Amino acid sequence: MVRNFPDPEEQRQQTPKASTVFPVAQLSAAVSRYFVERKHMSDNNVFNNNKLPTPANDNLLTETEVAKRLGVTKRCLQAWRYRGGGPRFVKISDRCIRYRPDDVGEFVETRLRVSTSDPGAGGAS
């Protein structure tokens, strides 16, 4: 039985050149540099959301956060916005609704009752 071994010269011609193959260490270093530079660029970016000039944006709550705090569903908050009667909200765009914590707190305060027959501040005495 005769084995045919490939010619070493033929193998060298088939393997990619060293310049096209990245060693793992070089690739890892390149990726690390990319992310460090990218973070540095985002820190200096004027459009970075963390650097908006309005400090009130830091305190705005999402629909999910408010629903969780009040113990209701997001759909319930949407219905309240449509019909009225829910906490006041900020309409940033058609699809971006936020709530101020003070407005949510005020909404909860107006719903405090002493008993089930208590009509609240807006009810008849």
Give the Cα separation of 22 and 30 in Å (integer): 10
| Residue 90: per-residue pLDDT | 94
| Sequential pLDDT tens for the chain (125 residues) | 666 776 767 666 665 555 555 566 666 666 666 666 665 555 555 555 555 445 555 689 999 999 999 999 999 999 999 999 899 999 999 999 999 999 999 999 998 988 888 887 766 54
First to last CA, the chain: 109
Amino acid, single-letter form, for residue 58: D
What's the predicted TM-score (pTM) here? 0.51
| Residue 96: per-residue pLDDT | 93
| Residue 67: per-residue pLDDT | 95
| Residue 116: per-residue pLDDT | 87
Half-sphere exposure of 56 (CA within 13 A, CB side): 9
Per DSSP bridges, beta strands 90-93 and 61-62 are unpaired
Q: Tokens for 37?
A: 């530079």
The DSSP code sequence of 16-80 is: PPGGGSPPHHHHHHHHHHHHHHHHHHHHH-TT-GGG-S-GGGGGPEEHHHHHHHHT--HHHHHHH
Give the Cα separation of 63 and 89 in Å (integer): 9
